[in-house]
Amino acid sequence: MRSLLAALTTCALLYGCSQGHSSDQSAQTGLPTTRIVIDTQNGPVAFTVEVADDLPSQEKGLMFRTNLAPDAGMIFDFHKPDYQSFWMKNTPLSLDMLFIKSDGTISTIAANTIPYSTDPVLSSEPVRAVLEINGGRAYALDIVPGDKVHAAMFGNLKQ
- Please say if the pLDDT value at position 128 is more than 70: yes
Residue 10 parent element (H or E): helix 2-18
In angstroms, rounded to a whole number, what is the distance separating the alpha carbons of residues 126 and 156? 19
Q: Which of 133, 21, 20, 22 is nearest to 69 (CA)?
A: 22
The mean pLDDT value for 43-62 works out to 96
The domains found in the chain, sorted by start residue, are 25-154 (2.60.120.1140)
* Residue 64 CA to its chain's centroid (Å): 12
Q: What are the angstrom distances between the C-alpha of 27 and each of 32, 33, 53, 59, 104?
A: 9, 10, 16, 18, 27
pLDDT at 158: 73
Summarised one tens digit per residue, pLDDT across range 1-43 is: 333 333 333 333 333 333 333 344 444 568 999 999 999 999 9
Q: Write the burial class of residue 40 (CB in 10 Å: 0-12 exposed, 13-18 middle, 19+ buried).
A: middle
Instruction: Look at strands 72-82 and 43-52 and give their pairing.
Output: parallel
Summarised one tens digit per residue, pLDDT across range 59-94 is: 999 999 999 999 999 999 999 999 999 999 999 999
Whether 18 and 129 have beta carbons less than 8 Å apart is answered as no
pLDDT at 134: 98
pLDDT at 159: 63
- 29's CB contacts (< 8 A; 6+ apart) are 50, 57
Share of the chain residues as helix, strand and coil, in percent rounded to the nearest 5: 25, 35, 40
| Mean pLDDT across the chain | 86
